[in-house]
Structure 1
């Protein structure tokens, strides 16, 4: 049986590790776990960064638990509230929990009928219709005197669309994970059956953007969010170079999405304001992407940067947001940290041109308390 080291996100823990595990962590997991030797030979202090889930080394399995309660983690990840009486231990079966959520969401979408859309398929026709594939046509023309067929991309109305391709790819990936209970994998297989005719396609960020932009597929939103969590978590195994795999969720990204979605809801009634997520600002060879830009009548008024760590205002964080103020023209910038209570502190640059705010929003407590905390943040950023 593989020994397990159980850790809690952001909290240091000391223990013994064989040399092969030390080499693995230093070579592949520096971004996941800080490893510092102690004064005792073979004993190390391990501090997980902002990830939860598991990874497997050559001889040891590392389980990283969240530092916030499980119901609050579900809210942070955008999952539906847990049913009364349900007991899940996210530190051991987080992937199973998300798989269950995926199946539930997919069944909800499929129940009233999957949404079809227009897509293009490559075909060869005796008649010219659709869009001509010029390169293929020219290659064929070079081999024959007269064209007797046309290489075209033909529009078809079917289920082979981005919003259906993403769940299909997610289900395919989950069915390969043998650590999931057999009954759960069977649920996935049944739920994905209506998507059998959908083509397999590599899932990219652009594919998610296209899927979310389709108004007719708005009901797919919660399903696509779960798909993104699962696919990102499964992709964490790739850079680790291990054989046992991994499933890791970046809580920094989750906090950023939670904050963005919550502010979208808060600012929706205020038509003069717009919440912009990660816009790009090019400066020479570099593109800066603030987490959130709040615009009023199109002008950048406030820039917010989400930080999944303790609310310590470091020099690097200040440099970052002041650079955002310069490139966006915003007169107010803010760093938003998670916490158990609300707090805010304001500073002004020596020339009085930019106000810097440090916000702490609640991520622990009842859902109403967390919503109230976001509402306070929104009210404060709207103040002129």
Structure 2
């Protein structure tokens, strides 16, 4: 059964406001032809069914957040509220692939029910903590033209550009500068959040203060990809802020298909990707603390065929030292499924993983449903495929305990 929702009178001259819920049912909205066309051009975001008299039935897909679409009288402000609470959602973000240390504490979203304001406040708090002891500096190799020697003279460039001329000099030197990838990523996220409509004045003022603190960091050119950073001891205090910054920048676009991307005025998060990143990192870290070894989230080192044309994409492969020679070899394979019930294709996929990785058990983890075990005959042996459930609706402390319990079950299955 669908509900018919009408537009408030005070919003008729502004963007059409359409709030939907992730995983919610169909709701009926009255749209102008221009507004319907705007939504039809963004079919990655929602399902649409035409009704009568200008009515349209709408249903959200797998993205959450808020985005402004279209222009003129076709402008639509689409908001998709996640099924899980915002503080739980930001807790999942803490386990994104670039997370340095296991930390089950959630990011406090306070009373904010909407993703964008909560994410902005969480990012500001994380960035303030990162910069508490000053802006991170590092030595960067700098090429310059100077009237004096600094560092080393680039003799080849000097002879090519100024043969026989003593000054100025082409030099290269190490400059201790804040203009490094970590700070570039923070600044890019700050500038992106400042363009998001609807932020409260407090968050906007805090973001502007962060811009001032990052003085000396060059803004990224328009269209440039986010800078890459490598977790290490030097940037540990930045880790949480960088994870949130990466989420901010990734949420500013989405794929339309065929490799084409569209930038969005707002922010969207793909829930199944976030769930996969969370499970891979959280379970991998729990296994590492429990049995050692090395977790590899989103491992892409294996192929189904000998020609290496069909890559396998398990969400987690955990490596342990071989008892014979101590070499790290694959010992656990896990795949996350943001689904309500298992499908046969999941079993086929995990069977392929196990056969190719030479393992006798594999683990599928669902966001809801019932756990179970499936035995798969393979030649003269058999595979055991476990179906686990990690319920995102549980409080974050219980969720962290569930991850530890899951790691214990996986370890027990491996040792059996």
TM class, shorter-chain normalised? 0.7 to 0.9
C-alpha contact 2:38 2:75 (8 A) present in aligned 1? no
Aligned to 2:334: 304
Aligned to 1:291: 315
Aligned to 2:67: 55
Structure 2 portions without partners, runs of 5+: 1-10, 95-104, 322-327
State yes or no: 1:66 paired with 2:82. Answer: yes
* Structure ranking higher in helix proportion: 1
Aligned to 1:195: 214
State yes or no: 1:46 paired with 2:69. Answer: no
Describe the shift of the 1:144–1:50 C-alpha distance in structure 2 as closer, same or farther (beyond 3 A). same
For residue 223 of structure 1, report the CA deviation from its aligned partner: 0.8
State which of 15, 31, 36 in structure 1 corresponds to 2:44.
Answer: 31
Describe the shift of the 1:10–1:178 C-alpha distance in structure 2 as closer, same or farther (beyond 3 A). closer
C-alpha contact 2:154 2:170 (8 A) present in aligned 1? yes
State which of 141, 145, 149 in structure 2 corresponds to 1:120.
Answer: 141
Residues 19-60 of structure 1 show CA distances to partners (whole Å, capped at 9, x for unaligned) of 333433333x2222122446x565443332221112233233
Aligned partner of residue 244 in structure 2, secondary structure: helix
C-alpha contact 1:76 1:363 (8 A) present in aligned 2? no
TM-score using structure 2 length: 0.77
State yes or no: 1:103 paired with 2:124. Answer: yes
**Alignment coverage as a number of residue pairs:** 366
Describe the shift of the 1:206–1:133 C-alpha distance in structure 2 as closer, same or farther (beyond 3 A). farther
CA RMSD of aligned residues (A): 3.0
C-alpha contact 1:102 1:226 (8 A) present in aligned 2? yes
TM-score using structure 1 length: 0.83
Describe the shift of the 1:119–1:276 C-alpha distance in structure 2 as closer, same or farther (beyond 3 A). same
Aligned partner of residue 207 in structure 1, secondary structure: coil
Aligned partner of residue 330 in structure 1, secondary structure: coil
Residues 76-117 of structure 1 show CA distances to partners (whole Å, capped at 9, x for unaligned) of 23384437xx42121xxx222211111111111222223322
Describe the shift of the 1:46–1:321 C-alpha distance in structure 2 as closer, same or farther (beyond 3 A). farther
- Cα distance between partner residues in 2 of 1:325 and 1:98: 38
Describe the shift of the 1:314–1:103 C-alpha distance in structure 2 as closer, same or farther (beyond 3 A). same
- Cα distance between partner residues in 2 of 1:197 and 1:133: 29
- Cα distance between partner residues in 2 of 1:71 and 1:182: 21
C-alpha contact 1:120 1:156 (8 A) present in aligned 2? yes
Aligned partner of residue 288 in structure 1, secondary structure: coil
- Cα distance between partner residues in 1 of 2:161 and 2:238: 47
C-alpha contact 2:126 2:240 (8 A) present in aligned 1? yes
For residue 130 of structure 1, report the CA deviation from its aligned partner: 5.1
Aligned partner of residue 216 in structure 1, secondary structure: coil
- Cα distance between partner residues in 1 of 2:266 and 2:373: 41
State which of 264, 288, 296 in structure 2 corresponds to 1:276.
Answer: 296
C-alpha contact 1:260 1:277 (8 A) present in aligned 2? yes
State yes or no: 1:19 paired with 2:27. Answer: no
Describe the shift of the 1:160–1:60 C-alpha distance in structure 2 as closer, same or farther (beyond 3 A). closer
Describe the shift of the 1:364–1:128 C-alpha distance in structure 2 as closer, same or farther (beyond 3 A). same
Aligned partner of residue 254 in structure 1, secondary structure: helix
